[in-house]
Structure formats: structure tokens, C-alpha cells
Amino acid sequence: MDDELNALRRTRMRWNTPLSEPHAELLLDRMALAEGDLVDLGCGWGELLLRAAARTPGLRATGVDTDVTGLDRGRAAAASRGLSVEFTEADAATWDVPAERVFSVGAAHVFGSTRAALEALARLVRPSGRLLYGDGFWAAPPGPAALEIFGPDLVTLPDLLDAADGAGWRVLHLSTADQLEWDDFESTSRAGWAEWLAAHPADPRAERVREWLDRRLREYVRDYRGVLGFTYLVLGR
């Protein structure tokens, strides 16, 4: 798809993860945010980072990503809300500035794997700090189609917790996305293009968009709804 359509696809998404407003507030509470440094690695447009900055005076918030469209959206949102949040175009896996608080939600692939992410983040978070780590896991045995979509590297939740323990983390909070959060995430991920398609049915790109929307819905309902889980861990030492 071209740049215009790529920019439109996530416009109806609050954040690029299955997460409700109350669940987000709970996670921010569990992070015990205070004055100091917070970095969001793989931030996208950084909505959770912006929420953290809005509720925590003195927080020095930085979002790191390579997605220029997402970073621009984050900068615009920060400006419109009067928030001092820095958005930096950089590879999250190479970020080496220690911080007291770190977010890494849905970004394990940037580091190569769940285990590699947890080990790299252990070197980045200061010993007294906390990490909000979000990652997918197999909530039920995957079929061949789900394995093809998401690859062989996803693990079960017990194995994910073992990886956290092996990297030296202690779990301070654990929660998982519920079915409503997943359904809302999948629906909003399609909504931007669905609205565009309704307004531009004769556009030369319309058929490709229609095919993507139909395939994404089929895959979700048939192949990974209830099979792919997502967990949010608040980790400390």
C-alpha cells in the first residue's frame, strides 16, 4: 500500500495493542511513576507514554521508534495537549540510555525474541526501576495457520514468565488482554481503511484494501481469536 493508505490504517486505533482505558490506567498505577526518566521503546505514536506524562509532573518522557508516521502523530498529540514529550527516530534495540522506568509493549520482535528482549531490557532499566513489558503468547495450542501468521517463536505464558525469571526479573504485576479488548483492537485496526473504502469504492486501490480487510477478519475469527493472547507484566528486580 502507498504512504497515504499506510498513514490512514491506524487512525482509529487508540494504541497499537489490545488494551482498554481502565486496563491502561491500572498499568500506569502499577508502574509507580514519579519524577525521573521514562523511555518507551517501540512507542509507535506513544499514546500510553502521553498518558503517563499527563498524569506525572516532572516525568521526562521519551518515545523511540523507527515509524516516522507514528512519531509525527505522537508529536502532534503532545503539542495539542501541551505535553513535553520527546519522540526520537531510532532503533529501539540499540537504545542504550538507562532509565528508571521503561515501557516495551509489543516490541519483542525488534530485539529478535521474547528472551532477547527481556535480557536487553534488564541491562537498560536501572536496578531500582520498573519495566512495563507487553508481549504476545499462545493462550491455546495454535493451528498451522496461526503458526504461519505469527511464526514459531511465540511461547506460552508460563514459558514467558520463565524467560523473565531467567533474565533476572521479578513479576510485580501480571494481567492479560480480555476478549473485548482483543475484539476492539482488531475492529479498530480495520476501521481506518474500512471508512476509506466506503468513501472511495471506485479508487484503483479499493480492491486491494477490500481484500486486506476481508482476509484480516477471516484470519482473526478462524485462526487466532482465543488462541493468541497478550500479557502485560510490570517487572522489577
Answer yes or no: is pLDDT of 48 > 80.
yes
Answer yes or no: is pLDDT of 1 > 80.
no
pLDDT at residue 2, as a whole number? 78
The 3-class SS string of 70-101 reads: HHHHHHHHHHHHCCCEEEEECCHHHCCCCEEE
Handedness of CA 105, 111, 112, 118 (dihedral sign): negative
| Across 10-33, average pLDDT | 97
The pLDDT tens digits of the residues spanning 91-117 come to 999 999 999 999 999 999 999 999 999
Q: Could you give the CA distance from residue 90 to residue 64 in angstroms, rounded to a whole number? A: 6
Q: Could you give the CA distance from residue 176 to residue 193 in angstroms, rounded to a whole number? A: 28
The pLDDT tens digits of the residues spanning 52-62 come to 999 999 999 99
- Report the chain's mean pLDDT, rounded to a whole number: 96
pLDDT at residue 61, as a whole number? 98
Q: pTM for the whole thing?
A: 0.96
pLDDT at residue 6, as a whole number? 85
Answer yes or no: is pLDDT of 222 > 90.
yes
Please give the domain boundaries of the chain with CATH numbers for all domains: 16-178+227-236 (3.40.50.150)
- Nearest alpha carbon to residue 2 among 210, 208, 213, 214: 208
The 3-class SS string of 125-185 reads: EEEEEEEEEEEEEECCCCCHHHHHHHCCCCCEHHHHHHHHHHCCCEEEEEEECCHHHHHHH
pLDDT at residue 237, as a whole number? 94
Q: Could you give the CA distance from residue 218 to residue 27 in angstroms, rounded to a whole number? A: 31
Q: Could you give the CA distance from residue 206 to residue 198 in angstroms, rounded to a whole number? A: 9
- Angle among Cα 2, 40, 7 to the nearest 5 degrees reads 15
Answer yes or no: is pLDDT of 46 > 80.
yes
3-state SS assignment for residue 116 = helix
Cell of 77: 498529540
pLDDT at residue 3, as a whole number? 77
